[in-house]
Structure 1
Amino acid sequence: MHKVFVNDKPIILTTKVEKEEGFKNYSLKTVNLNKVVKELNKTPLKEVRLIHKNEEKLLKKFLKKLPNVIAGGGKVYNDKNEILFIFRNDKWDLPKGKTEKKESIEKTAIREVEEETGVKNLEIVKPLDTTYHIFKRNGRNKIKVTHWFEMKTMYHGKLEPQENEGITKVVWLDKEQANKALENSYANIRSLI
């Protein structure tokens, strides 16, 4: 099973058909994904389930339905075990961004964290889950596939929000502050923290 978010409402990719209560089932093979996105955005529907018989092919077939944007990002810890957060579009988020030509996903994640926050000396500790969400750009729906990495740094310098990316704040948050920030964040970010 995989979850793809449209804002905070999930599209669940699954092999199981269940009785519809607060959600709708669609066949992955024949679904019009643009209609599903519109339905999730404009109705009280809580989620949509896309059904396919083969578990291994679920995600691959889903990703062919819309253009993909590949991104890398970081859940960054400092030496006080605080997590690096950015504030963009009135929500708390983690730094991330699109890959550039022939760049590895690890290089993307480190570059984007540096560009969006000013934090240097980043070291990848381990890969985290990949998240998926659908967004609209230039009138078209796209799937953002974000590869996340846990990182650490000993950086103590100035935090610099990348304002031309709409980032207004960059802060280190302890566990309690992070939990509070997650109340005003995205579902896929909450799943990482």
Structure 2
Amino acid sequence: MAQKYRIYINEKVILITESEPAKAESYEKLDAETFDLKIIYTWILAKPNRLFYIQCSNARVFLKSVIKSITLIEAAGGLVKSAAGNYLFIYRNDKWDLPKGKIEKDETIKEAAVREVEEECGIKVNKLKEKICKTYHVYVSRGEVVLKKTHWFNMASKGQEKLKPQKEEGITDVRWFEIHHIEPIVHNTFPSIMDVLHKEKLVTNKLMPQ
């Protein structure tokens, strides 16, 4: 099966793929040979198009080369499910999001994922479960273009204790959502979060770039 990866720049996506994407006419093709994420970042932001793709013989190898060419920040977070079957979301930067944060020195990916969820939401994670996926997005930090790679895990929390948003991290709300009432999330979240929700089959009504 052909591999593909998505790198997000705000609402835009660069699809790294081994085969031409479905509905290729909706995409702008980028040259794999000259691709430089640091240079192309501003150019993509200025373009009206939302979808871009790079076709290559080995998507995994190409992604690794991109990661080596740019400052990488690794983060971890989680999709938390309560015993009642509800899912936990945070509200930050005027969008619904999932709790996550940077992995600290001498900390494992799993330890960071649990710590960030507990700190940002004020809950106790009772069980760290399987890994969901990794997402990639690009932004500017202190004047430098950086790539954030986030590791996502399924998590469980027994109760629905009083939630406490970590306001110093810009989080203004933390809320449990029933699986059939997550429309506010779908209509106001980041594409990378939609990737996580699609992986877990929580949403099916908004197709991701193929």
Same topology, TM > 0.5 = yes
Matched, 1:165 2:169: yes
Q: How does 1:29-68 map to 2 (within 5 A)?
A: 29-68=33-72
Question: 2:17 corresponds to which residue?
Answer: 14
Question: Tell me, what secondary structure is at the counterpart of 1:100?
Answer: coil
Quote the residue 1:134 is aligned against.
138
> Which ranges of 4 or more aligned residues in structure 1 deviate by more than 4 Å?
17-20
Query: Alignment partner of 1:21: what SS?
Result: helix
User: What's the offset of the Cα at 1:31?
Assistant: 1.4
User: What pairs up with 1:71-150 in 2 under 5 angstroms?
Assistant: 71-150=75-154
Q: Is 2:7 the counterpart of 1:4?
A: yes
Question: C-alpha separation between the residues in 2 aligned to 1:146 and 1:56?
Answer: 16
* Superposed displacement of residue 22, structure 1: 4.0
Q: In angstroms, what is the RMSD of aligned CA positions?
A: 1.8
Query: Is the deviation greater in 136-145 or in 40-49?
Result: 40-49
Q: d(CA) in 2 for partners of 1:27 and 1:66? A: 18
3-state SS, counterpart of residue 45 of structure 1: coil
CA contact (8 A) 2:72 2:147 kept: yes
The question of whether the paired residues in 2 share the 8 Å contact of 1:17 and 1:25 is answered with no
Structure 1 length-normalised TM: 0.92
How many aligned residue pairs are there?
A: 193
Aligned match for 1:186, one of 187, 190, 203: 190
CA distance in 1, matches of 2:60, 2:46: 31
Identity %: 34
Task: Show structure 2 runs of 5+ residues with no match.
Answer: 198-210
Cα gap change, 1:55 to 1:121, in 2 (>3 Å): closer
1:129 deviates by: 0.9
Q: How far off is 1:83 after superposition? A: 0.5
